[in-house]
Amino acid sequence: MAVRASREVVIDAPPEAILEALADVASVPSWSSVHKSAEVIDTYDDGRPHHVKVTVRVLGITDQEVLEYHWGRDWLVWDADQTFQQHAQHVEYNLTPEP
């Protein structure tokens, strides 16, 4: 069964700072309760994560995933390359400054 969800939040920070926080993969478990561990496997030439290995726990189900990150000036997309519990996963962060 396919599940699609969308959420909008307002963060009082410039897009660059938000992307920097998302790139700090090692700290993600400190602010995301579903992430039990996260580690960078390899990076792009600019130092941003390319592939990331995570362990997540959602609704009592633990999954290990390898995520492929793609970066833009004001966006981040990642896809689950490998996961034990899911067929696929696609996540997008689109950052739009408030007027």
Q: What is the pLDDT of residues 31-72, one digit of tens each?
A: 999 999 999 999 999 999 999 999 999 888 898 999 999 999
Of 8-12, 67-71, 88-92, the one with minimum mean pLDDT is 88-92
Q: How distant, in Å, are the alpha carbons of 69, 75, 76 from that of 93? A: 11, 5, 5
| Cβ-based burial of 2 (10 A; exposed 0-12, middle 13-18, buried ≥19) | exposed
pTM of the complete model: 0.83
